Amino acid sequence: MRKHHGQEVKIGNGGKRRQTNRVNVERYKLCPNCGNFYSAMEDVDYCGVCGEKLIDHCPRCHEPILYPTAKFCPLCGERYGKDDS
C-alpha cells in the first residue's frame, strides 16, 4: 500500500502581508418593493421576484447602496423601500 503525503501545511510564513490598496467597495441594486438585491455589477434593472425597478443609489442623497440588507440609507436616513404602512 502506498501512501502519498500530499498534504503540506505551511505554518507561520510571516512577512507576507496582503495589501489592499485598492478600494474595492461592493455596490448593490436593491428592489424597493420586496428587498431583493443584486450586485451592481450584474446587468439587471428589474427585480426578478416582483418586477419592480431596482434602485442602485439612495433616492434622496444619491449615495450608492453599499449595504444590500439595509432598509434605510445610513447617510441620510431615507427609506430605500416603499412605506409599507
Contacts to Zn ion by CB under 5 A? 31, 33-34, 36, 47, 49-50, 52, 58, 60-61, 73, 75-76, 78
Nearer to Zn ion by C-beta: 13 or 44? 44
What is the DSSP annotation of 23-34? -----EEE-TTT
Q: How far is the CB of 43 from Zn ion (least distance, A)?
A: 17
Nearer to Zn ion by C-beta: 40 or 47? 47
Q: How far is the CB of 25 from Zn ion (least distance, A)?
A: 16
Using an 8 Å Cβ cutoff, are 33 and 47 in contact? Answer: yes
